């Protein structure tokens, strides 16, 4: 099959996982992927060990501002964790098995739960910049064109040929987030909604934004979905949260222009609230 020759084998994934386990005494059961400008989440960890991506066998490299490019191992609320300080995207030119490479490594290292964070544009008119949106479902728009990380021969040692995705985002974790937001007094900027992924790197046109709203999307971004698919394929439970860093443009007369600098600025401004919520959710996890 086309593209099969470039796919990573189970043995290659295992070699990288074993190499990482040899570098740290941490045996993570929880992994966290930090989105654009959200690498400060790693400040939550104690007893940290940092490993730059360039030192890890077969690991891709981050090329986007706001994604520093290192794995950080440590403890949070008594749980052993690994944090990705910088993720990978299709628009960087990586093939799909490289975008999702770390999640299969985490599975082989023993990770049972994954938290995915991202910066996204708000489609829902009730959302405001700075809102925190727990992801209840997603729309894999690239998947409609065949861009799915599970395309190709299936590796049964990771998971089944046809994994269920109706429960992609763990309902119990979402409830923990809702309870935590209430405890923290975050009700005014806490949301729940559907995340839609586009490949980027260009931001959406006005017509595209109107289409996404019709499809039922509340927020739009350029990441997250491939990692979630691979996680669920391996039986990893997922909690996802989006920081709404901008409102999408839906009016042709608008002078607003979305840019990455604004995304990073808003991420920095709301970083503390996001960190506090994530820490609270992890504390409540089994």
Of 13, 84, 89, 169, the catalytic one is 89
**Nearest CA among 120, 146, 153 for reference residue 38:** 120
Q: How far apart are CA 38 and CA 144, in angstroms?
A: 29
Q: Is 156 a catalytic residue?
A: no
Q: Is 92 a catalytic residue?
A: yes
Q: Is 36 a catalytic residue?
A: yes
Q: Is 46 a catalytic residue?
A: no
Q: Is 107 a catalytic residue?
A: no
Of 120, 140, 234, 246, the catalytic one is 246
Of 118, 120, 223, 242, the catalytic one is 223
Write the CB contacts of 186 (distance below 8 Å, at least 6 apart in sequence): 132, 180, 273, 277
**Residue 14 CA: distances (Å) to CA of 8, 57, 79, 134, 195:** 10, 11, 23, 32, 31
Q: Is 246 a catalytic residue?
A: yes
Q: Is 91 a catalytic residue?
A: yes
Of 67, 107, 138, 233, the catalytic one is 67
Of 17, 84, 119, 285, the catalytic one is 119
Of 260, 271, 273, 279, the catalytic one is 260
What is the Cβ-side half-sphere exposure of residue 273, based on CA atoms within 13 angstroms? 23
Q: Is 67 a catalytic residue?
A: yes
Q: How far apart are CA 127 and CA 242, in angstroms?
A: 12
CB-based contact 158:234 (threshold 8 Å): yes
Of 50, 92, 155, 269, the catalytic one is 92
Of 31, 181, 222, 231, the catalytic one is 222
3-state percent breakdown (helix, strand, coil) of the chain, nearest 5: 40, 25, 40
CB-based contact 67:38 (threshold 8 Å): no
Write the CB contacts of 171 (distance below 8 Å, at least 6 apart in sequence): none
Of 36, 62, 124, 242, the catalytic one is 36
Q: How far apart are CA 269 and CA 19, in angstroms?
A: 36
Q: Is 202 a catalytic residue?
A: no
Catalytic residue numbers, as ranges = 36, 67, 89, 91-92, 119, 222-223, 246, 260
């Amino acid at each position: 099959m086309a593209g099969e020759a470039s796919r990573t084998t189970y043995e290659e994934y295992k070699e990288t996982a074993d190499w990482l386990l040899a570098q740290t005494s941490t045996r993570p059961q929880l992994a966290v992927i930090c989105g654009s400008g959200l690498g400060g989440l790693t400040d939550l960890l104690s007893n940290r060990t940092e490993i730059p991506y360039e030192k890890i066998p077969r690991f891709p490299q981050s090329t986007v501002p706001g994604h520093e490019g290192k794995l950080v191992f440590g403890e949070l609320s008594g749980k052993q964790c690994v944090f990705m300080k910088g993720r990978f995207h299709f628009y960087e030119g990586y093939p799909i098995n490289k975008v999702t490479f770390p999640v299969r490594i985490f599975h082989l290292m023993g990770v049972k739960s994954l938290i995915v964070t991202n910066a996204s544009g708000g489609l829902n008119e009730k959302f405001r910049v700075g809102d925190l949106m727990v992801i209840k479902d997603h729309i894999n728009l690239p998947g409609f064109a065949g861009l799915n990380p599970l395309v190709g021969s299936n590796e049964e040692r990771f998971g089944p040929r046809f994994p269920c995705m109706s429960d992609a985002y763990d309902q119990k974790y979402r409830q923990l987030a809702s309870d935590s937001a209430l405890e923290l007094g975050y009700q005014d900027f806490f949301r729940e909604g559907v995340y839609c992924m586009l490949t980027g790197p260009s931001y959406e046109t006005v017509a595209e934004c109107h289409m996404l709203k019709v499809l039922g999307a509340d927020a739009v971004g350029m990441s997250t979905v491939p990692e979630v698919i691979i996680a669920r394929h391996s039986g990893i439970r997922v909690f996802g949260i989006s920081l709404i860093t901008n409102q999408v443009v839906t009016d042709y007369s608008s002078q607003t222009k979305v840019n990455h600098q604004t995304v990073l600025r808003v991420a920095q401004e709301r970083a503390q609230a996001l960190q506090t919520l994530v820490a609270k959710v992890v504390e409540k996890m089994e």
